[in-house]
A and B are shown apart, each in its own frame.
Chain A
Amino acid sequence: MKINILKKWLLALGGTALLFTSCEKTNEGPNITANNLKGMFVVCEGSFNQANGDVTFYNPDSAQSIKNLYYKANGAALGDIVQAFEIVDTLGFIAVNNSQKVTVVNMKTFKVIKNISGFSYPRSVVRADKNSVYVSNGNGYSKNYIYKIDLTSLKKVDSLAVATGPEKLIVVNTKVYAAIAGGWKNDGKAVVEIDPSTFKITNTFTVAPVPIDIVADKDNNIWAYCKGVASYDANYNATYSNMGISKINVSTKVVNTFPLTTMSASGTNNIAVSNDGNTIYYVNDGLFAMPVNATALPTTKLVNQLFYGLDVDPQSGNIICLDAVNSKAIGYNVNGTEQFSFQTATYPNSVVFSY
């Protein structure tokens, strides 16, 4: 009798357990094939110390997107604070800042080929020349270098010491330009020019304090988005001073700075250039557009919204603005009219295009 009671009890327990098992699944998204990785790659930092950064892929033709492309392709997390992404032929180089690595992926499948270690604070990646990519590294306190990675061996082969906190890297007219922001010390105010043939600094341009992003216009002028020096009150509210947008004429070496009166941008990819190189777009307390020959900053906003980053689609000319609050990418035309939007992973900061 009592054994029967036990059997019934155990059956009831098992049945109850079944009620609690679930078939919950995560949303896996559309399948990737070797031929459809053409479109936009949104670099998503993820939350600090959560290792949930990734790259969101969006195909504007089909409007299909994969929110976590790396995870879907590799079945593993990419890492903590995905900072930058550069496509080099069939390879993709992803700088993962707080995981201290550069991950190399196959651009047909997005599967990982190699994790290059030996970085302390990687920030930006750019193809410097036919044989190498450069990675900016350093937060101001240590190991402030531009590292050279050989494209054949996928190894670090050289390093160039720079001033504190190198940030964005771009290539203009065979030269590499690096914004030197100062890292956590917030004391940088330079853009340096590096000659890839010698891997040495050939010019240094003084700009407004803390240049975090740079782009080049149709005349090969370098535009630096300078965030200004931050100071904190007793309640850790930040105020910025001496912020501005500096225009560097690399031929004449003249730098003109357009001062900003406020600083509301919280990301690091805050300036972009139109397809024809005639217009500079930047974010602050909104999205602004400025002709490259303008003599003053615009006073009206193209879009009245805070964004965490932006880039320009080379195919359509649309301005892709990144909303970190809602984890969304929004495409606007040159008039500031929204064309489309899609969900991204957490903290989207920039877009890389591959068509």
Chain B
Amino acid sequence: MNRFVLLVVLIFSPLLLVISTCEKVVAQSITDTVFQMSEVVVTASRNQHFGNNFKTEVFTRDELGAYAGESLSRFLTSNTALNVKAYGVGGALANITLRGTATSHVQVNWNGFPINSATLGSCDISMIPAGGFNQISVVYGASGAVYGSGTFGGAINLDSYVKPEKTFSGSVQLGYQSLKATDGSATLHIGNNKVAWQISAWGAKSDNEFTYYDYINLNYHTQTDGAWNDAGVIQNIVMKLTPASTLEVGLWYQVKKYNIPSHVGSTSYETQKDSTLKLFVAYKTHGNRWGLQIKSAIFDDYQHYWQKASAQSSVNSIDSHISATQWYSDANFRYYIQPYLSIDAGVTGSYISADVSAYGDIKKEKGLATFIGLKYDKRRWSWQTALRKEWNSDFYSNILASFGASWQLIPDNWILRANASQKFRKPTFNDLYWVPGGNPNLKPETGYSAEIGSQSTIWKNTHAKLSTDLSLYWSQVRDMIVWRPAGAYWEAMNYQRVHSTGMEAKLLFDIQRLHRKYHSSLMVTLNRSIAQSNADTQEKVMIYSPKIITAWETKISAGIMDFTVWHHFTADRFYEDNALLKPYQTIDVQVGAKIPVTKETKLGIHATVYNLTNTRYELIRLYPMPGRYWSIKMSYTF
């Protein structure tokens, strides 16, 4: 398949280039060759610039703001049909998988730099505040050539960029949940034509108390040992240095402490404290037909985990400290050969160090990646091709190629898309260095993904619209790293191949008449993800990979009132080779109002009941989710 993808790229790229430039050869002799690209286009990040042929879900601040004070885990669970794997509710560790792959196969980026854990490879999305960003996008099957390591499933981009323009806006929000949780947040955005400043701060405190059925001890148990608190701040400043250049500086600081509750059928005394300081700086400048971005970031993460043998014990039976620092720098130059044809060239450097007691000493990794990409975007036809090569201290990737194309079959009403991309993922520090079991001889995982899709408006008139999005995808991961028993210990091995195929469908229906709105969306994901060990031909279904996930949302707004219902269904899924977690469905209901106070300010009040039917379910076995609970939120926006 690697060769097939490369062949597609090599054949179609020059062919498309010839076709697309042919018509312009004639026109060039007529049209003035001096042209000026808009700033927003020429300064778009590499991820944005090369993202339009990949299925992407974009969530703006308006949608994210309703979840201020809560985590991305809560937001994605409510608003998508993604496979969110949470070890409980609220402050519990939560990961995400896309398209039947693993949690380390989703790259989470902040302003273009990956914030995945260097030790684990995954990203705890319970540490990501939903209301801390202007935009969050989910890129399905994100290109390995564009993003680099760890995108077999896709990527999530957290963007904080604010534009220097005159503005004064913000919001304050307070909420309370029946789990004995309180949260609050505030956002302020101030700017003029030269400087823009945005700050988001939040805090949450929860006893995380709820009753669940302990199916091992066969009795009802009230969880009282899962208290957590979380606080943080994210701020961005953008300064217009010249009409054609900006300097952006960002900061993200957060601390969370979580008493890890005992899971079903046992009692444990575990606590974890996470803190992160992320700093980011970016310089952008552009000319009429070129753009240059130079940016750098440093992420400093610290985790302290301790476990006691008993509640009274003064000694920790386990006391683990994990400290990791990641430094990234990236430079990208874009040149528009024609207004519709651009070429990007970039280089990324990285330096990662981790101090983990289980490694024995501090481990370090240096990395360098080079990138080149070509994009054509004119009228109804858009295509792109990209190449990337990565080198790390101990291994390197092959040349990763990706190709994407979209065609407006019916302009603005029906778009077909296709893409294919080679992927790779480097082993994590834990895979390489954990004692016992880490394996310094591990190879990177390699593979590919491909997708065809259709986005169409089936029907519309002046008041209503019915639209769909359909994707079919295939992906393969080779030499997937899995921890397996090897004698008395478990060891990291390049153990298996994973084939994942699936379909994602979305149906949207919107009606608006005067002050009344009706919105309904139905999302269905179907996935079949099979793992086959390198040693034999036996196939097994990937664990925690449900075949079907559905999410249905209906929202009715009338004047200042709104009413929303969410329904989620997750099919059964394996948690071990031969053991299934039962399927479950939940219904959440929200009613609220946004009351205009002045012309520009609003007071919002929303009450939500989660899990209305009091369904008993788990996302991860032995980690119970709460039954029916409620929340009330008040917000003030200006």
**A residues adjacent to B (C-beta < 8 A):** 2-3, 5-6, 9, 13, 16-17, 20-22, 24, 26-27, 49-52, 76-80, 96, 98-101, 112, 115, 117, 120-121, 139-143, 184, 234-237, 266, 306, 324-325
Q: List 9 A-B contacts (CB under 8 A).
A: A13-B505, A21-B547, A49-B266, A51-B263, A77-B265, A141-B315, A184-B317, A237-B436, A306-B487
User: Which stretch (B247-255, B305-313, B323-331, B374-382) binds chain A?
Assistant: B305-313
Chain B residue numbers with a CB within 8 Å of A141 are: 309-310, 313, 315, 317
Contact A139 B309, beta carbon cutoff 8 Å? yes
Residues of A within 8 A of B266 (CB): 49, 51, 79-80, 98-100
Given the complex of chains A and B, what is the CA–CA distance between A49 and B267 in angstroms?
10
Residues from chain A with a CB closer than 8 A to the CB of B216 are: 51, 76-80, 99
Point out the residues of chain A lying under 8 angstroms from B528, CB to CB.
20
Stretch with Cβ within 8 A of A (4 or more), from B104-112, B276-284, B574-582: B574-582
In this complex, the member of A13, A96, A139, A140 whose beta carbon has the largest number of chain B beta carbons within 10 angstroms is A13
Q: Complex Cα distance A98/B435, Å?
A: 24
Q: How far, in Å, is A138 (CB) from chain B's closest CB?
A: 10
Whether A16 pairs with B312 at a CB distance below 8 angstroms is: no
Q: Is the CB of A13 within 8 A of B524?
A: yes
Contact A52 B579 (CB under 8 A): yes
Residues of A within 8 A of B317 (CB): 141, 184
Q: Is B526 an interface residue (CB 8 A)?
A: yes
Taking a contact as CB atoms closer than 8 A, the residue among A2, A96, A142, A234 that contacts B459 in the complex is: A2
Question: Which of B215, B488, B622 is the most central at the interface, judged by chain A CB atoms within 10 Å of its CB?
Answer: B488
* Contacts A21-B548, A141-B310, A141-B317 given; does A51 touch B265 at CB 8 Å: yes
Say whether B31 faces chain A, with CB atoms less than 8 Å apart: no
Assess whether A52 is in contact with B576, with CB atoms less than 8 Å apart.
Answer: yes
Q: Measured between alpha carbons, how far is A50 from B490 in the docked complex, in Å?
A: 15
Contact between chains at A142 and B313 (CB < 8 Å):
yes
Is the CB of B188 closer than 8 A to any CB of chain A? no
Q: Once the chains bind, are B309 and A79 in contact (CB under 8 Å)?
A: no
Question: Quick one: given A27-B578, A51-B266, are A184 and B309 in contact (CB under 8 Å)?
Answer: yes
For A26, what are the chain B residues with a Cβ–Cβ distance below 8 Å?
578-580
Residues of the B chain whose Cβ atoms lie less than 8 Å from the Cβ of A5: 458
CB distance from A203 to the nearest CB of B (A): 29
The answer for the CA separation of A169 and B264 in the assembled complex, in Å, is 28
List B55-93 residues whose CB lies under 8 Å from chain A: none
The residues of B that contact A139 with a CB separation of less than 8 Å are 309
Assess the B310–A142 pair: CB atoms within 8 A. yes
Output the least CB separation between B462 and chain A (Å). Answer: 16
A174 to B459, CA, bound (A): 86
Q: Which of A2, A16, A51, A80 contacts B526 (CB 8 A)?
A: A16
Bound-state CA distance A266–B436 (Å) is 15
Number of chain B interface residues as a range: 35 or more
Q: Is B466 an interface residue (CB 8 A)?
A: yes
Query: Is B358 an interface residue, CB under 8 A from the partner?
Result: yes
Nearest neighbor of A18 in chain B, beta-carbon distance: B526
- Residues from chain A with a CB closer than 8 A to the CB of B578 are 26-27
B309 engages A142 (CB within 8 Å): yes
How far does the alpha carbon of A101 sit from the alpha carbon of B267 in the complex, in Å? 10
Given the known A-B contacts A51-B622, A79-B266, A235-B360, are A6 and B466 also in contact in the complex, defined by CB atoms under 8 Å?
A: yes
Q: Which of A16, A96, A117, A121 has the most CB of B within 10 A?
A: A16
A139 to B267, CA, bound (A): 14
Q: What's the nearest-Cβ distance from chain A to residue B88, in Å? A: 14
- In the complex, what residues of B have CB within 8 A of residue A325's CB? 485-487
In the complex, whether B565 has a CB less than 8 A from a CB of chain A is: no
Instruction: Determine whether the beta carbon of A9 is less than 8 Å from that of B265.
Output: no
Instruction: Quote the shortest CB–CB distance from A83 to chain B (angstroms).
Output: 13
Q: Are B435 and A236 interface neighbours, CB within 8 A?
A: yes
Q: Inside 8 A of A112's CB, which chain B residues have their CB?
A: 218
- How many Å from the CB of A154 to the closest CB on chain B? 14
Counting CB contacts under 8 A, is B621 at the interface?
Answer: yes
CB-CB under 8 A from B218, the residues of chain A are 76, 112, 115
Contact string against A for B residues 92-104, beta-carbon threshold 8 Å, 1 for contact and 0 otherwise: 0000000000000
Pick from B313, B358, B621: contact of A236, CB under 8 Å: B358
| Minimal beta-carbon separation of A197 from chain B (angstroms) | 31
Q: Judge whether B217 is part of the interface by a CB distance below 8 angstroms.
A: yes
Instruction: Indicate if the CB atoms of B215 and A77 lie closer than 8 Å.
Output: yes
Residue of A at shortest CB range from B358?
A236
Interface of B is mostly: loop
CB distance from A99 to the nearest CB of B (A): 4
Q: Mark B370-394, 1 if CB is under 8 A from A, else 0.
A: 0000000000000000000000000
- Complex contacts, B485 vs chain A, CB 8 Å: 324-325
Considering only residues 509-563 of chain B, those with a C-beta below 8 Å from chain A are: 524, 526-528, 541, 547-548
CB of B468 closer than 8 Å to a CB of A: yes
Question: Across the interface, which residues of A come within 8 angstroms of B621, CB to CB?
Answer: 50-51
Residues of B within 8 A of A324 (CB): 485
How many whole Å from A347's CB to the nearest CB in chain B?
9
A2 touching B458 in the complex, CB below 8 Å, given contacts A20-B528, A236-B435? yes
Nearest chain B CB to A183 CB, angstrom units: 8
State the CA gap A120–B262 with chains docked (Å): 13
Instruction: With both chains docked as a complex, state the minimum distance between the C-beta of B232 and any C-beta of chain A, in angstroms.
Output: 29
Please give the distance in Å from B469's CB to the nearest CB on chain A: 12
Contacts of B548 in A (CB 8 A): 17, 20-21
Q: Say yes or no: is B352 at the interface (Cβ < 8 Å to chain A).
A: no
7 other contacts beyond A20-B547, A141-B309, A266-B488, with CB at 8 A cut-off? A16-B503, A21-B571, A50-B622, A99-B216, A115-B217, A120-B267, A237-B435
Whole-angstrom distance between the Cβ of B533 and the nearest chain A Cβ: 15
In the complex, chain B residues 605-638 whose Cβ is within 8 Å of any chain A Cβ: 621-622
- Nearest B residue (CB) for A121: B309
Contact assessment for A117 and B265 in the assembled complex, using a CB-CB cutoff below 8 Å: no
CB-CB nearest in chain A for B579: A26
CB distance from B426 to the nearest CB of A (A): 23
Q: How far is the CB of B540 from chain A (nearest CB, A)?
A: 11
In the assembled complex, the Cα of A26 lies from the Cα of B578 at a distance in Å of 6
CA gap between A94 and B263 in the complex, in Å? 20
Task: Kindly list the 4 A-B residue pairs having the minimum CB-CB distance in the complex, ordered from nearest.
Answer: A141-B309, A142-B310, A266-B488, A99-B265
| Distance from B61 Cβ to chain A, minimum over Cβ atoms (Å) | 32
CA distance A50 to B571 in the complex (A): 21
Q: What separation, in Å, do the CA atoms of A96 and B218 have in the docked complex?
A: 14
Which residue in chain B gives the minimum CB-CB distance to A117? Answer: B217
Contact A49 B263 (CB under 8 A): yes
Q: How many angstroms from the CA of A249 to the CA of B361 in the assembled complex?
A: 49
Chain A hits for B265, CB < 8 A:
51, 77, 79-80, 96, 99
Query: Which B residues are in CB contact (< 8 Å) with A120?
Result: 267, 310
**Chain A, Cβ-Cβ closest to B576:** A52
CB neighbours of A13 from chain B (8 A): 505, 524
Contacts of A117 in B (CB 8 A): 217
A319–B436 alpha-carbon span in the complex (Å) = 31
A326 to B, closest residue via Cβ: B485
Q: In the complex, which residues of chain B have a beta carbon less than 8 angstroms from the beta carbon of A27?
A: 578
Cβ distance A134 to chain B, nearest Cβ, rounded Å: 21
In chain B between 433 and 467, which residues have their CB closer than 8 angstroms to a CB of chain A?
Answer: 435-436, 458-459, 466
Q: Which residue of B lies closest to A9 (CB)?
A: B468
A20 CA to B525 CA in the complex, in Å? 10
Interface residues of B in 467-489 (CB under 8 A from A): 468, 485-488
* Residue ID in chain A nearest B541 by CB atoms: A24
Closest A residue by C-beta to B357 = A236
In the complex, what distance in Å separates the CA atom of A237 from the CA atom of B488?
12
Decide: B267 and A100 in contact? CB cutoff 8 A.
yes
Which residue from B219, B264, B468 sits with its C-beta under 8 Å from A51? B264
Write out the residue numbers on chain A whose beta carbons fall within 8 Å of the beta carbon of B468. Answer: 9
Q: Which residues of B contact A234 (CB under 8 A)?
A: 360-361
CB A156 to nearest CB in B, in angstroms, measures 15
User: Whose C-beta in chain A lies nearest to the C-beta of B580?
Assistant: A26
CB-defined contacts of B466 to chain A, threshold 8 Å: 6
Q: Give the shortest distance, in Å, between B338 (CB) and chain A (any CB).
A: 37
**For residue A22, which residue of chain B has the nearest CB?**
B547
Q: A76 — which chain B residues lie within 8 A by C-beta?
A: 215-216, 218
Query: Nearest Cβ in chain B — how far from A95, in angstroms?
Result: 14
